[in-house]
Amino acid sequence: MSPPESRLFQAAVMQSWNAIVITDADLAAGCRVQIANPAFCAMTGYSPDELHGRPLTMLQGPETDPAVIAELRACLKEARFFEGTAINYRKDGSTYVVRWNITPVRDDDGVLTHFISVQRDISESVRAEREIRLLARALDAASDPILVTDARERIIFANTAFAAVTGYAPEELLGKTPALFRSGKHDTAFYADLRESLARGADFRATFINQRRDGSLYHAEQSISPIYDEKGRVTHYVSVSKDISERVDMEQALRHAATRDTLTGLYNRRYGEHLIEDALTRADTSGEPLTLLVCDIDHFKRINDGFGHPTGDQVLRDTARILSQSVRSRDAVIRWGGEEFVILLDACPRGPAVELAERIRLRIHQHRHVEVGQVSLSIGLATRMPGESMEALIGRADAALYEAKRSGRNRLALAPLP
């Protein structure tokens, strides 16, 4: 090697950002340090003089992995390239994680003369990896379902709780998007709000109705947040949710109990009065007509007395079913009490209401009960007059019902027009 090349080699070694140390090849003496560059001295805390002539075993300690050292010695003995990671000790006794490779050096005659080792302190990256693994374990151990996606909404992490709620194994979800859980229960406005919130950097919180792997639905209180890098760019989204299906089911059960008749499943009278009052308020604002039907099963006492109350209850349930199937989706069928029903025909003028009432009467009469046979229904109809109260409207429909009864039953009677 020419003097210029030698100087260049020396400069490259001494100015290298990586720690470089050159030892002799005397394995019996432990391969003593010949040259240590400034980066190596800074990493170990030793000066060049303190290192020179001493074996690098001085950097080992209790936490140094014996298996790595055994592999290192085997490679040195066979003059093979070595690469490994271990815990070393600085002069002050502190530890660091070093990643290093060792290359045997031979002279022109092929005789092994030295080993050159290029080393790097990877303590910070190892610590960061450990923290990431710890965070991943913590997220996985969390009781609430957690989902993380990249900026393109592809799933990169789902914890055990999320997998348990959705029925998907975590590995099944990787690379998919949260669209996998859409149930079809949310409209486009819901998802537009979600995207608008995330686009302006705000969290999005809502109750989602999601679909599990088996197709069943569940309710989740869910919070979705964007994650930014140091330049303010969105890199990921994290979703934390809570399965509230049990709570929703309980609330729905309580709401059903508060608004529904236990025997027929129709609206009960208390809630029915509330529906009628709301309809009257809307009618006052919109000016649309509103019609009320009051229906009564004819000779119901005879059914109870002759066939027993269980049969009477079945007649009530069958009647409720036919009434519900006969009205429009916007109408409300109410069990008013006993064998009496009220039907609220919202935004329905007198003419169409009469046609609907007649269809109902005929369907009831055409239906044959297993034990009772034919059952008939008497109906009173009243279309609301401007400003008329609920009590007055029901009173007129009730009077029409009694007229239908008095006229022979199984008929429709209309409240007189003003």
- Residues taking part in catalysis: 339
32 DSSP β-pair partners: 55
Is 184 exposed, middle or buried, given 0-12, 13-18 or 19+ CB atoms closer than 10 A?
Answer: exposed
**In sequence order, which ranges of 287-378 are alpha helices (DSSP H)?**
300-307, 309-326, 350-366
Distance in angstroms (rounded) separating the CA atoms of residues 124 and 121: 8
Q: Output the six-digit token pair for 73.
A: 């010695």
Distance in angstroms (rounded) separating the CA atoms of residues 280 and 324: 21
The angle at the Cα of 73, spanning 67 to 77, to the nearest 5 degrees, equals 150
CB 269 within 8 A of CB 334: yes
Distance in angstroms (rounded) separating the CA atoms of residues 283 and 287: 5
Q: In terms of Cα–Cα distance, which of 72, 48, 46, 56 is closest to 24?
A: 56
**In sequence order, which ranges of 260-349 are alpha helices (DSSP H)?**
269-286, 300-307, 309-326
Distance in angstroms (rounded) separating the CA atoms of residues 128 and 122: 10
Q: In Å, what is the CA distance from 186 to each residue of 153, 194, 204, 245, 329?
A: 19, 11, 15, 16, 20
Distance in angstroms (rounded) separating the CA atoms of residues 256 and 248: 12
Q: In terms of Cα–Cα distance, which of 117, 99, 124, 113 is closest to 37?
A: 117
Exposure string of 60-90, with b = 16+ CB inside 10 Å and e = fewer, is beeebeeeeeeebeebbeeeeebebebbbbb
Distance in angstroms (rounded) separating the CA atoms of residues 205 and 216: 22
Distance in angstroms (rounded) separating the CA atoms of residues 354 and 359: 9
Phi and psi torsions of 91, nearest 5°:
-60, -35
Q: Output the six-digit token pair for 382.
A: 């009243």
